[in-house]
Amino acid sequence: MTFTKIVAQKAAPYWQGSLRHPFIVQLQAGTLPLDRFRYYLIQDHYYLQHFSRLHQLVANRCQDTALRQIMRQGAIDLASGEQQLRQQQFQALNITEQEVKQTPIAPTTDHYIAHLYRQLHADNAAVAAAALYPCAWLYGDIGVALQQQAPSPNRYYQEWIDLYAGEALQDEIHATGEVLDRLYAVSCKADREQMVAAFVRSSQLEYHFWEMAYQKETWLKGNEYDAQ
């Protein structure tokens, strides 16, 4: 069985759960409270800064020419796509640098970023690429699914949907999957297991990311259980 078929089965609960999560359901319906979307944008800003850098780091470690090109192109596409839209929405929603500085990185965001960097310690760059893959694949599937429904009445939410339903992202998802399937087939058993584990953990964290934004997750203060 190919890598993409294996991980599609293992990560199915997080795919299905994402489509049913209140953050996504309410985003499409236009009823998602704006403060939660703003919090998502700030946390995603933290994430994307590292996500783009990780594409370059993985590209630098690639022996495979096709994977190296995909990673480098991914960094370019992030700058012209997701990161550009985030900047536009920051301006439209008046999310200032001061607000970003005053909003600490959330535990889930921090965990996800750390997980991605840990995969760089694998000897096979395909492991690190497998950890990056769920972000594009899941967002692409969500974008396509939501675009088949009625447009969101909130223009910012519909912009988000349109970005991830675009053909360019679908082409990237397909091309990356083909390369990872090929590299999985020629990797040793240990590397194959790491590729699958890295993908599944990223999928879990993608699901947690919706919950983090919806709950506006913050760090515990450390004195929650002090005697009253």
Question: Could you confirm whether 188 is annotated as catalytic?
Answer: no
Half-sphere exposure in the Cβ direction for 159 (13 Å, CA): 14
Residues ≥6 apart with Cβ < 8 Å to 209 = 43, 47, 108, 109, 112
Clarify whether 193 is annotated catalytic. Answer: no
Start-to-end CA span in the chain (Å): 57
Catalytic entry in 82, 135, 188, 193: 135
Q: Which candidate in 206, 211, 217, 224 is catalytic? A: 206
**DSSP assigned state of 205:** H
8 Å CB contact between 147 and 141: no
Q: What is the DSSP letter of 103?
A: S
Residues with a catalytic annotation lie at 135, 206
